[in-house]
Amino acid sequence: DPPEEEFDLVAMPLTQGGEAELSRDLMQSAYQQLRLGGQMITTVDNPRDTWLRGEMQRLFDKVTHQAGQGGMIYSGTKRGPLKKFKEFRSEFKFRDGDCLISVITRPGVFSHRRLDTGARALMEAMEIQPGQRVLDLGCGAGVLSLAATLRAPDVQLLAIDANTRAIECTKQNAALNGIETLSTKLNASAQIDEEGTFDIVLANPPYYSSYRISEIFLKGARRALRPGGQVLLVTKSTEWYEENMSKPFRDVTAIRSRDYTVMKGVRR
C-alpha cells in the first residue's frame, strides 16, 4: 500500500498476467494519495491492452495513451476526489469444530474471499495438543493459524509469509478472534530464530512454483521441528513429496481428503 501522504506523481508498472483485483485495489489507493493536479502513469506489457485503459478511465476524466516497446503507457491527472470508492477487503466466516472463525482478506493474499479447500483438508488432518508450538509456513490470511490456535489451550503459533498483506491480515484476524498467542514474521525463506523447538509445521504450498517453494518449506520445516515433531503439507500431486520427504523425515504417509492429499512426516 502507498504511504499515507500526498504525492505529485505515481508510476505503476503492471503485467497482463497480474491479479486484476489487486491491480484495481493498488490503483485506487494510489489515486487517493495523489494531490489535486498530481499525475498517475501506468504501463502494461500488452500492446493490445484494453483492460488497463478502461480502469484508468474509471479513475480519471481524461486519459492519454501511448504505445511503448511491447506494451502501452497511460497517464491521467487528478482533478477531483475519487468518483466511487470500492471496498476490496472481504470478510467471511468458517467453522472448525465448535469454533466459528472470522477472517478478513485482501486482494493479493492467498484465497481471497473464501476458505481454500486445501486448507480445509489440512485442518481435518492436523491434530493439535495443548501447549504445542506450531509453525504455519506461508500463512496467507492466517486461516490455518487461527484454527490451530483455537483447537487447544496454550497453543503458541508463529505464522510466516513473504507477503506483507498476508501478515497484516493474519495480525488483524488474530485480534478479531481474540487470539493473543499468535505471532507473525515477514520472511521469504522460512527462516526462524528458534530452530528445533516446534512440535508441528503446517504448510499449504503454491502449485505454480515447480516445487521451489515446497523445497524451501521442507527445509524450513526440518530446521524448525524438534526431533519427533511433525510436518503436514497439503497437495494435489504427491509424487514430488514422496521422492523428497523420505530423507529429512521418517514415517512419511499420505492422507487423502477432499480431492487433496496431506503429506505427513516425522522429523528424524
The pLDDT tens digits of the residues spanning 168-210 come to 999 999 999 999 999 999 999 999 999 999 999 999 998 877 8
| pLDDT, position 109 | 98
pTM of the model: 0.94
| pLDDT, position 132 | 99
- Between CA 111 and CA 177 the distance in angstroms is 19
**Residue pLDDT, tens place only, 47-91:** 999 999 999 999 999 999 999 889 999 999 999 999 999 999 999
| pLDDT, position 209 | 77
Residue 148 has pLDDT above 80, yes or no: yes
Distances (CA, A) of 131 to 101, 126, 127: 20, 15, 12
Look-up of cell digits 500463512:
139
| pLDDT, position 208 | 77
Grid cell digits, residue 202:
503446517
Q: Which domains does the chain have, with CATH numbers?
A: 7-77 (3.40.50.150), 90-267 (3.40.50.150)
Count CB atoms within 10 A of the CB of residue 91: 12
What is the overall mean pLDDT for the chain?
97
Cβ-count burial 114-133 (b if 16+ within 10 Å, e if not): ebbebbbbbbebbebeeebb
| pLDDT, position 155 | 99
| pLDDT, position 5 | 94
| pLDDT, position 207 | 81
**Residue pLDDT, tens place only, 22-48:** 999 999 999 999 999 999 999 999 999
**Cβ proximity of 162 and 187 under 8 Å:** yes
Amino acid (one-letter) located at 172: Q
Over residues 232-242, the mean pLDDT reads 96
Strands 7-14, 34-44: pairing kind: parallel
| pLDDT, position 179 | 99
Residue 260 has pLDDT above 90, yes or no: yes
**Cβ proximity of 34 and 11 under 8 Å:** no
